[in-house]
A and B are shown apart, each in its own frame.
Chain A
Amino acid sequence: MNPADSKTMRDAFLGQLYAAMREDGRIFIVTDDFGAPALDKIRAEFKDRFVNVGIAEQNAINVATGLAIEGFVAYAYGIAGFMTMRSYEQVRTNLSMAAQLRPLNVNIVGVGAGLSYDLSGPSHHCLEDITLMRLLPNIEVFSPSDWTLAARIADRSRHVNAPKYIRLDSKPVPRLYDDGAAVHLDTGFHELAQGAGACVVATGYMTQVAQRALAQSAAPVGLLDIFSFKPLDEDRLCRALEKYRHVVTVEEGFIGRGGLDTLIVGVLARRGVPATVRALGVDDRYLYDVGNRALLHRLCGMDEAAILQAVAQPAPA
């Protein structure tokens, strides 16, 4: 992977928004005083559509809701764990419930998915957001694995008149997808590699880790990137998975708590697909360990070596 191709998802996302804001006067950005280099241009050029509510996530969601009620396209931009969990009841009442009665285009853009704020410790780790947001009706949930997807999701977001949660990694990541890649966001996933026997299913940054791991595997192992939990074409996902005997899920989230592994186990069970599932992720604890992301992955048994081992020794049938 060429490091020159690396970029943060937020800069890619905000870059698209900046371009869109020049032609689309409906777009507002509401932030809880959280910045980004790409946001500086927006702040300078669109003063009347950039709203800093201060460190007040509940109000960020409520103000964004009010703007959307009036037909604007609102982006509530902040740190993933705080935008989702500090304001969860605002999201539930004013977006999830309200969007059942009227369209509301509020996009919660959370930076710092999973363990991307590795050194900041458990307050900044975000291991619950996928579970919490996919629980709520009427909200789309995106978890891109590279910056090209983040940019595509930004493009789509202003045209789809519904609340969305978009979780972005905080660190620069290489691209996984070519510009011409036939990726359909509404399908929810993409098969990055076809394999035989075993398949890794990952989301967000863990798709990057899984791809690096599988590059070292002699055996052909499949790799599915789940970049959207809603929308998700479950029929197509099932068809992609049914050719494998073993599935390994990898996520920067708690194991067995409604995240990626729960999604896959549920799909396979509902469709009667007999594949075994082995789930890699964070056990039933928070991570106070100080160290970089690779160390945290190793401690949790979800680093490249652990992925390779899980593929080689899948769960018993």
Chain B
Amino acid sequence: MSNNPATTAPVTRDADETAMVRRLQEKAAWVRRETLRVHGVAPETRIASSLSPVEVLVALYYGGHLRFDPRNPQWAGRDRFIASKGHGCVALYPIFADVGYIAAEELATVGKTGSRLGGIPDAQIPGIETTNGSLGHGLGVACGIALALKQKRSDARVYVLVGDGELCEGSVWEAVMFAGQQQLDNLVLIADNNGISMLDYCRNIINLDPLDAKLRQFQWDAVTVDGHDVGAVHRALAGCRQPGCRRPQAVVARTVKGKGVPVLEGDALCHVKTLSKEQVTAAIGSLP
């Protein structure tokens, strides 16, 4: 947890934009380092898949978009975050330690006997809503939660992070069609569009580009942003909260799988790559 930029003063929407983006950038750099450290503790974790959504997660948790209370994880007024690409959410662990869902010391226990922090976060962990790891479920469950929140007249929102490999699951599209039809304007889908599935580039398996246009055809509002430009992600998420949005909202975050680690970036098989302790140390050392 070294060199962790302060989080005690939450970034608010009316804070100076430039200062906020700078703080988010610093936080993202820290989360990337800490995610690599977690991988050093638990080499079974999917590191490449966990490095691509770092800026997205930082914008959500530190940009004032996701309402949550680590002292009361089940707070009824919280926004719900569904980590549908479960393997790629190891970056949540340092964030959860930082904001107080878990103790900082727990990061050393990831993957260890008796720990609640496994290779894929599940609902044993405060702040995690669902059992993750099996792809294609998160958006449909989120649709049910979004309907429920509307029925309760709650203004809470549901955010779902999916991977682009995950989009090959037919159940995702059942949910996409449903959310559009039901005008679930309290639902935000974030696609970690890193372009690589398990064995190959997505475009060589099932090419879904342009994803935003496809979502718009299913009655969603959708934008595509550079998913490593934390300011751009931050602004896109702010756009999802504008009054007058009557459709489900999607942010397609163009990212790089293994972002920040040269031996992972651009390797079509990086999903299954494990870094040695030396590689972790070198990767942390070479980060900007």
Contacts and interface: CB of A to CB of B under 8 A. Distances in A.
Q: Do A and B bind each other?
A: yes
A266 interface: no
A49 interface: yes
Given A56-B174, A62-B143, A90 B148 contact: no
B253 interface: no
A70 B144 CA distance: 9
Given A54-B177, A90-B137, A66 B171 contact: no
Contacts of B122: 101
A16 interface: no
B145 to A, nearest CB: 4
Interface string B181-206: 00000000000000000000000000
Contacts of B171: 58-59, 62, 90
Interface string B206-239: 0000000000000000000000000000000000
A197 to B, nearest CB: 49
Interface stretch (A91-99, A141-149, A233-241): A91-99
A101 B123 contact: yes
* Interface residue range, chain A: 20 to 34
A94 B86 CA distance: 14
B76 to A, nearest CB: 9
Contacts of A179: none
Given A66-B140, A101-B123, A59 B149 contact: no
B134 interface: yes
A64 B170 CA distance: 18
B178 A93 contact: no
A58 B131 CA distance: 16
A115 interface: no
B179 to A, nearest CB: 10
B175 interface: yes
A98 B136 CA distance: 16
Contacts, number: 94
Q: What is the predominant secondary structure among interface residues of chain B facing chain A?
A: helix
Given A97-B131, A98-B130, A66 B145 contact: yes
Interface string A57-72: 0110111111111111
A70 B171 CA distance: 21
Contacts of B141: 62-63, 65-66, 69, 94
Contact of B134 (A66, A93, A101): A93
Contacts of A67: 144-145, 147-148
A178 interface: no
B130 A59 contact: no
A93 B122 CA distance: 11
A63 B130 contact: no
B8 interface: no
B144 A63 contact: yes
Contact of B142 (A28, A66, A71, A102): A66
A62 B175 contact: yes
Contact of A59 (B129, B151, B152, B174): B174
Contact of B137 (A49, A51, A72, A93): A93
A116 to B, nearest CB: 27
Which residue, B129, B131, B139, B170, has most C-beta atoms of chain A within 10 A?
A: B131
A48 B131 CA distance: 28
A93 B136 CA distance: 11
A212 B213 CA distance: 61
Nearest to A90: B137
A53 interface: yes
Contacts of B136: 58
Contacts of A93: 131, 134, 137
Interface in B132-176: 134, 136-137, 139-149, 151-152, 170-171, 174-175
A63 B131 contact: no
Nearest to B169: A58
Interface string B93-129: 0000000000000000000000000000011100001
B146 A98 contact: no
A98 B129 CA distance: 10
A72 B134 contact: no
A62 B171 CA distance: 9
A94 B171 CA distance: 13
Contacts of A5: none
Contacts of B131: 93-94, 97-98, 101
A72 B151 contact: yes
Given A62-B144, A101-B123, A102-B123, A70 B152 contact: yes
Which residue, A48, A69, A98, A101, has most C-beta atoms of chain B within 10 A?
A: A69
A90 B171 CA distance: 9
Nearest to A102: B123
30 contacts: A28-B147, A28-B151, A49-B151, A53-B174, A53-B178, A54-B174, A54-B178, A56-B178, A58-B170, A58-B171, A59-B175, A59-B178, A61-B140, A62-B144, A62-B171, A63-B141, A63-B143, A63-B178, A65-B140, A66-B144, A69-B130, A69-B141, A70-B148, A70-B149, A94-B131, A94-B141, A97-B131, A98-B130, A98-B131, A101-B131
